[in-house]
Structure 1
């Protein structure tokens, strides 16, 4: 914790993830004196990464790991800050491997041999991959409501907010409830098992947009060449280059909101050390919903019920990521060199084959993403963070716990691929369900009108200059683009900033 101030801050930003650092950079550059505080010892939040164990300088993403060609703000900012990125291979490859109900088959085999699919699906699902079925059922739901599949983010927001289904707004329906009305039970089970996400009964329109615009077969993905942390570090440098300060290892112990027009009071404590009182006219909370729950925030009693309701408008989904390094990409003998992922109803659910070894050399990397409650619960309890390298010491709280997770993952990889799996050279476990994150991504609950909640959350109490930003309360809550566009709207609407010159004109910022 530093105390080298020429002036007291006029904006304190809590949270040094992508949204918080972006807010700090934009406000500091506009002439505000900004202090960004972060409870962790490093910046990045869910975009933080690490070095591959035993390979200093080789990046490894454990949270946010990619963005799409539609994410205008991410790409424009990365270009402006000279953060390099590269395009990834398409995920809709015919060699995508499925292991469902004990049967192994490839996406490219389904159309020619529908009986490969171990589900007694109806005629509408027969011969279709889960992605194709997902897209088809969404089109049918929209057609029933008199709409077509939107082509832009702006059009998706119109559909989510204005479309009615059976006389009720679309946002009042849960997605899986809506799908079950258009599929027989076996087709429904095939879709849930083969999609890789079992828990996302969000507001129906939100899942439709997330699937088609974020995970559809036509989506093009990009990754930062030096890991997502390279963007985070560039943002931190930009904040500090303009005179702002970033304090890591600094926890917010309490926030007091005095009368209107008075400075907001924060009690800050450095990890294992000094406590300090800081005041500022404005406070930006760039933290996830669980962190808002944990914060000792002096919410006015009259506003507390509506505040709680708005905070709880989104669902935090627990995510466990297990990343393993191998001397050779052994999976290519099974799935081929071009495949990028496999899907299963086993608890490991989704397996991504990263091509880092072709770009940077070193070990071949495989990432397991347990993204739903069924998969997550299988591996609990899991450490918030732990890693191990062959011949080295364990970095984590419980070696037996880490060994159990590793053994379970290897056993399931063996079933999925139908082949022997060599011992990994290293393993990393990251459980985003732990505090202060409470989950790895978020989605809107059915019945909540997202645009109204998002606007209220950006400034929850008109009598106080307290603001909330980040991906959770945006119109695309699973992506960095949502965090950035939500924050850009905040600084424009409530701090009077104009659109930056590096952002393409008329860029749509969502709700």
Structure 2
């Protein structure tokens, strides 16, 4: 098993070579780009020299970024954190293909008895609903829910809505009624496969009297649907108590249904991650790609746009800016893989032959970039363990803080890591103003951290004003009975900044996702230009979504066969 230092020590090239020629140019060294480059050189019959990978940042991984704060051997996740065993590409890569380098470990979600839900100034433990139901009672909150919805936790109420929408449609019942069940007062099960959902989402109708009667569910926004089912107050409860505002924005309701019951509302879901940091998957892919002679990751080289090539034997010329030298340079290629999210695509020159396409412009707008902030904090003591027995997991609030994750304690000392705030969507403008304040938080030495260890971290710090507000909200979330010290170091990440535009994406209502997804993989039938990544997938917010889109594109347009390590029956989406 490789150490994190060994895994991340990969050779990359920050220079440039004007006039470079390659068969395939892969732009973006995030999950989809790394996967595409690796598959093309290992299974696509191309030497490394004919598959070149370009990245504008000084690191790889895209929205996977694992960091270690000084003074502790605990990994913090600024980006993607985890995967599910059902996500076959991610799981198989980690647990089989790269098992020599990566170690899969549980991503603990903690014991709800030791976690908090602080909503409308009401203090609850996260297991309050379960305990009340075991007593035959209904947990009351300060949300004026409909009588039929009182006593449901947010997870249970999400499940109830999905169940009712599905089973109200006669078309669904005629085909899938035996795959969904309601038992007991609050419990629902969904045994629908990914293939089932792919058939259901374009067909499902909203069969309730009212303004949306008989509408296709994919024409409705999720907020529209939730308000119609549980009222605006019920919607507010789900938005607040669910932890993520992004889940309840007015995105495509048909896409929201499997997302909610397949992940965030399923209390039985088993999460895993990688020992040493989840971005280890990106580095394992990079290492495997670079093992092929001629493979190269051109870091700190920003794609500005591309044109038709005047060089004989090549179709496209890609125009890059080498950021260290501020030097423009050109690459010639016969096919291009744009492994980039919506905002990064919009930053490319839009006056090219490729982007002068009304259908492409319309479909680029089919997804909503969802802003997200994370603030990691290092503490000298694990105050959450000492005060209320939490070992891991997260607490939720309707304060702008939204969520905090108790990440862990160094096994050799007491220094501990907290994700002090994980907020998104409408909470982000609150923090945006504080993030701009010019006075940064000043990391301080501890008994275990010398001043020299803190050098070079100043650009990663949140502003002092932001830290002050986070600490105020953490103390309010946990109540006066919990004494919370100040952190000695922070690490702040704004995923809404260019070129990402957001931490994750969501499909707009009214788009036929089953048609847009294949279109984006090859927007112009006459061109060898492809768009891949999490943004235009049907597993948005997950690395698996990026991999599925990339794999489908490689099989469809580069003629690659399904790898032997991946079940040929595994569903890759539309």
| TM > 0.5 | yes
What is the aligned length?
A: 508
Preserved CA contact (<8 Å) 2:377 2:417? yes
User: Cα distance 1:416–1:134, how it changes in 2: closer, same or farther (>3 A)?
Assistant: same
* 1:489 pairs with 2:528: no
- Report 1:256-275 matches (<5 A): 256-257=307-308, 262-273=314-325, 274-275=327-328
Pick aligned residue for 2:303 from 247, 252, 258:
252
Pick aligned residue for 1:138 from 126, 145, 162:
162
Paired residue secondary structure (1:266): strand
* 1:379 pairs with 2:431: yes
The offset of 1:354, in angstroms, is 1.6
How far apart are the structure 1 equivalents of 2:395 and 2:157? 17
* 1:177 pairs with 2:224: yes
Preserved CA contact (<8 Å) 1:316 1:441? yes
How far apart are the structure 1 equivalents of 2:512 and 2:359? 14
How far apart are the structure 2 equivalents of 1:361 and 1:10? 52
* 1:191 pairs with 2:245: no
- Report 1:66-77 matches (<5 A): 66-77=82-93
The offset of 1:344, in angstroms, is 0.4
How far apart are the structure 1 equivalents of 2:269 and 2:313? 47
- Report 1:283-362 matches (<5 A): 283-300=336-353, 303-337=356-390, 340-355=393-408, 357=410
- After superposition, the C-alpha distances for 1:406-465 in whole angstroms (9 at most, x for unaligned) are 111111000000122111122111000100000000010000111211101001111111
The aligned counterpart of 2:209 is: none
User: Cα distance 1:387–1:9, how it changes in 2: closer, same or farther (>3 A)?
Assistant: farther
Preserved CA contact (<8 Å) 2:37 2:53? yes
Structure 1 window deviating more from structure 2 (60-69 vs 334-343): it is 334-343
Which 4+ stretches in 1 moved above 6 angstroms?
A: none
The offset of 1:395, in angstroms, is 3.5
The offset of 1:396, in angstroms, is 4.4
Paired residue secondary structure (2:383): coil
How far apart are the structure 2 equivalents of 1:406 and 1:198? 22
Paired residue secondary structure (1:89): coil
How far apart are the structure 2 equivalents of 1:50 and 1:195? 27
* 1:160 pairs with 2:188: no
* 1:34 pairs with 2:34: no
How far apart are the structure 1 equivalents of 2:571 and 2:460? 46
Query: TM-score, normalized by length of structure 2?
Result: 0.83
The higher radius of gyration belongs to 2
* 1:103 pairs with 2:122: yes
RMSD, aligned α-carbons = 2.7
User: Cα distance 1:125–1:308, how it changes in 2: closer, same or farther (>3 A)?
Assistant: same
- After superposition, the C-alpha distances for 1:45-91 in whole angstroms (9 at most, x for unaligned) are 10122232355x75332101101121110011112012211112346
Structure 1 window deviating more from structure 2 (186-195 vs 212-221): it is 186-195
- Report 1:185-224 matches (<5 A): 185-199=232-246, 200-215=249-264, 216-224=266-274
The aligned counterpart of 1:407 is: 468
- Report 1:433-448 matches (<5 A): 433-448=496-511
- After superposition, the C-alpha distances for 1:256-302 in whole angstroms (9 at most, x for unaligned) are 13599852101122113133211000000001100000012554389
Paired residue secondary structure (2:395): strand
